A and B are shown apart, each in its own frame.
Chain A
Amino acid sequence: MLLDLSIRELHEGFVQKKFSIVDVVSECYATVEKFQGKLNAFISIVDRGTALKEARAKDISFSESSPLLYGIPFVLKDSYVSCAVRTTCASRVLGDFTSPYNATVLQKLLDKGAVLIGKMNMDAWGHGATSENTDFGSVHNPWNLDRVAGGSSGGCGAAIASRMAAFAIGEDTGGSIRNPAAWCSISGMKVSYGRVSRYGCIAYASSFDTVGPMAKTAEDCAVVLQSIAGNDPYDATSSPHSVPDYISTLTSKSIKGVRIGVPKELFGEGLGKEIRDAVLKTRDVFVNMGVEIKEVSMSLLDYGIPVYYLIGLSETSSNLARYDGVRYGNGRPYFSDETMRRIMIGTHALSTGYYDQYYRKAQRVRTMFIREYEKMLSECDVVLMPVTPTHATKIGELISDPLQNLLVDVYTVSQNPVGIPSLAIPCGFSSDGLPIGMQYRTIIGIETHAELKTVSKMFCGCINDPFHAPAPNTYTCPVCLGLPGALPVPNKKAIEWTLKLGLALGCKVNLFSKFDRKHYFYPDLPKGYQISQYDLPFCFDGILKTNEGDVRIRRVHLEEDTGKLIHDTVNSGQVTLIDFNRGGVPLVEIVTEPDIHSATQAKEYTKKLRQIIRYLDISDCDMEKGGMRLEANISLQEIKTQNAEIKDTDETLPGYKVELKNINSFRFLERGIVYEIERQKQLLDKGETPVQETRGYNPSKDETFTQRVKESAEDYRYFPDPDIPPIRFKEEYIESIRKTIPELPQAIVERWSREYGINSKAGEILAEEPEKGKIYNEAILDIHSRQEPTDKFANFIANQPTDWGSKVISTEAILTAFRKSIVVDEIQDSEITVVISVVLKTNQDIVRQYVSGKEQVLNFLIGSVMKELKKKIDVSRVQKLIVESIQKEYTAS
């Protein structure tokens, strides 16, 4: 058979025209036709005519300088997404998914001219060691049809062993390449973690998954790896190291003097005798080739399975969260028993109360494994181990026993948590009530979200402009749609801007930080988790000063926004429409400590925060459209005033909190909080505890309403996102960002007060918006330099109607308007007081109101006097004269 030849031999044959690409591809199809019915190795077969047409074209274009893989037929595990052929991952959950993109590994092979024959059967989602956990029927072992082909890449193993293609691309998370390679007697390589891009590889356990070749020989594996290895900008975990020349190393370096370690623990209990003998025989073969054998110790061997399963299943429970049947596929009811069991174990290991015991513990033991392998590999160059403890099992033998099914991987699982490479080669055959009238203290904490205005999204290169997209779902890509296999790469600018905001708020920076996954299901969340930050936010411990006291900033972190939901009626049915143009937009979250004690303070805090963000020019903060969103956590705390000794207990927070959400204006936030304080006070006065819930604010009724009662605390199962390497900042970088922070409004107001005598109230109005603030600052400098009254200028601006500023576009225009306003008509005080006494007489009611303390009516009197005078005079002069007249004529005792 031609397919008995190695890849290099096939290439040589093409060069020497001994046979054609068509001949080789035809032979593959003949073999597929003959054995597919028996082996069930394929899930999808590329149409024979299509493949042969491609082969013919390749025969014509082939030349001696063509790549080694040019015209070489190959098969792909069905865990890789492909445009031309459906992708199932052997699960009905995915259905007949058609990917809009090719996995990086597939694209690289196609670019080299390799010919795809089909996509291979496997354990669904990689969950299994026998390729029996598949919705497409078990894969049978080509050496014995009653036995399994191993897993999870069983279809690949069976196809190569039976010569249906020259090589296969498998995927190995804990043995999925090596186990079927062993049981089908072929070679299979689990590469170093990150050596080959995972982009487009449907994730089982992200921090373990590796993409590797399966072929007849180690040399064929080297040839394939040479073409698929290397850094990929779409996979942040792919290795930046250059790819060595594997092929020439194979031929130019002798094995002589290589030290092979043999762990003594491996040959104890549980290892089948025949396998033990075969491995020992292999050892002897190496000895005869001149290698040095060293006995090494692998004391942690027994802990390999727990570490692998606890971490792997935690990650898989997260990775499989995206299969909700909304954007693609049939949905979660279609998961097999084995996959449901794995999701359940992983979810449990990450859940509150078990996280430390399982997930965190396993991550620590993982470190111990890394140290043990470091030690072993300092004593030898390679470790020799059996791949599996037993031979290929009978079909049906392991599928019903979850524990035994997993113990098959005992030898292969420990390399994946460590990340080192491992090659399987064949070595023979065998057979949580108060009296009325209590006093309460309002406790409010505020969470603010703002969408950063970077040009691209947070983890992909999609356009970040959701409010101006031409139509729904037009600014998406595999990453922000959460398609199978897609991987996130963080936006540098978004990180820089988050740091800038944090520093502007006086925060400290975590010089070492990371992104975490936050899990919950909702149709606007494509992956079933949101990439956010948990225990190491970029910034923490800041402060924002308000007139009612300092508000401490607990944290400033970065995350991705969700899609937009629209509630509608379609064909008389209530539905929710989803648009992912907003999904994945960088979102900065600013969380305060519960330091806010009134509705007015809440409003002031949020307004000042928005102002700072606008001065930094990092977000438009469009509240109406949702570009900035406010949430307040409100609760009331009893004040125990009589007894100073129990002051300490006042520091503890109330045992409930009500979340006021989805507020899109400062006024609504203020009104909602006012309503909520009164509502909670009434409940507490009756001796009831307000329900822990999420409430919304209805502006037309001016009241809050229940949105969702929280039955229990959320369990978000946070863990570090294995797709994104951690982030470390240098002090100099932080300082360089600090230097880019412009003078902020508070500093501007203080400077104007100090240097130009402008009262802070007017100053705050002038500094409200960055663009106008800049123009006003220039005008103030100009006025000051000409020794004109800067305070009058500020008051002039501050007393203009709110929309005035938007009509004035330049410093010159503003100065002209001000100078015109201070030109006053010549007039005597006596002339004014005559008019004043007439106005006061005709408005006696108003005068009485003023005398009784309603000072705001003064404006009406000023206006009336000005109107009568019909002259341009200084308002403050008129005001002063009116007040004097009232004091003289109406308040005399």
Chain B
Amino acid sequence: MADIISKETVEHVARLARLNLTPEQVAKIQPQLFTVLEYMSKIQKLETDGIPETAQVTGLENVLREDMVEEKRMLSQGQALCNARKVHDGFFVVDAVLKEF
């Protein structure tokens, strides 16, 4: 069974996902998350001890590239910046973030 999803949990998850939810959206999504997770929790019933995890099904290993420059795929500064809302002197621009991180 899924744990009850608290309002604080919803707000925490929204912060992690960087979604600015309004109080109304939090209230709306809270029961929906519970319903969905409760349904999903049925897999807890399955015994999975000793079963390995599958992260992908390609069966492939060591798909690597040689260390070579591929100019044809590189973008010009104009191409790189053309979809951005704010640019300045060849840079992408965002509102000032903390000086150091």
Interface residues of A (CB under 8 A from B): 95, 97-98, 100-101, 193-194, 207, 233, 236-237, 239-240, 302-303, 305-307, 309-310, 317, 321, 324-330, 332-333, 335, 337, 340-341, 343-345, 347-348, 351, 357-358, 360-368, 370, 402-403, 406, 417-419, 454-456, 460-463, 471-479, 481, 489-495, 514, 519, 521-523, 528, 565-567, 570, 573-580, 661-662, 696, 707-708, 715, 717, 719-720, 722, 724-728
Give which listed residue, A340, A481, A493, A722, contacts B55 with CB less than 8 A.
A722
Contact between A370 and B42, CB atoms less than 8 A apart: no
Which chain B positions have C-beta within 8 A of A309?
36, 40
Give which listed residue, A340, A476, A478, A719, contacts B25 with CB less than 8 A.
A340
Which chain A positions have C-beta within 8 A of B65?
233, 461, 489-492
**Interface residue? B8 (CB, 8 A):** no
Shortest beta-carbon contacts, A-B, top 8: A461-B70, A419-B57, A328-B83, A493-B67, A363-B53, A577-B91, A574-B96, A364-B48
**Most B Cβ at <10 Å: residue of A344, A351, A358, A580:** A344
Main secondary structure of the interface of B (DSSP, over half): loop
CA distance A418 to B85 in the complex (A): 40
Q: Could you pull out 5 A-B pairs where Cβ atoms are within 8 angstroms?
A: A237-B60, A365-B43, A462-B69, A473-B81, A708-B100
Main secondary structure of the interface of A (DSSP, over half): mixed
Interface residues on B, range: 35 or more
Q: For window 58-92 of chain B, which residues contact chain A by CB distance below 8 Å?
A: 58, 60-71, 73-77, 79-85, 88-92
Which chain B positions have C-beta within 8 A of A406?
36
Which chain B positions have C-beta within 8 A of A565?
97, 101
Which chain A positions have C-beta within 8 A of B93?
570, 575-578
Give which listed residue, B19, B44, B63, contacts A724 with CB less than 8 A.
B63
CA distance A330 to B32 in the complex (A): 26
Min CB gap A20→B, angstroms: 35
Residue in B closest to A97 when the chains form the complex, CB atoms: B83
Contact between A521 and B18, CB atoms less than 8 A apart: yes
Which chain A positions have C-beta within 8 A of B48?
361, 364-365, 368
Which chain B positions have C-beta within 8 A of A366?
53-54
**Most B Cβ at <10 Å: residue of A335, A454, A522, A576:** A576
- Quick one: given A306-B39, A456-B68, are A476 and B75 in contact (CB under 8 Å)? yes
Residue in A closest to B45 when the chains form the complex, CB atoms: A303
Contact between B13 and A347, CB atoms less than 8 A apart: yes
Min CB gap B43→A, angstroms: 4
CA distance A521 to B32 in the complex (A): 25
Min CB gap A587→B, angstroms: 15
Contact between B35 and A403, CB atoms less than 8 A apart: yes
Which chain A positions have C-beta within 8 A of B23?
none
Contact between B61 and A725, CB atoms less than 8 A apart: yes
CA distance A324 to B97 in the complex (A): 14
- Quick one: given A477-B75, A576-B93, are A345 and B37 in contact (CB under 8 Å)? yes
CA distance A403 to B42 in the complex (A): 14
CA distance A578 to B12 in the complex (A): 28
Contact between A302 and B58, CB atoms less than 8 A apart: no
Residue in A closest to B60 when the chains form the complex, CB atoms: A725
Contact between B70 and A456, CB atoms less than 8 A apart: yes
CA distance A601 to B69 in the complex (A): 40
- Quick one: given A340-B19, A364-B48, A491-B65, are A570 and B88 in contact (CB under 8 Å)? yes
Known A570-B93, A580-B92; 16 more pairs at CB < 8 Å:
A194-B57, A326-B92, A344-B17, A351-B12, A368-B46, A456-B69, A461-B74, A463-B71, A476-B74, A476-B80, A576-B95, A578-B93, A578-B94, A661-B100, A726-B61, A727-B64
Contact between A343 and B19, CB atoms less than 8 A apart: yes
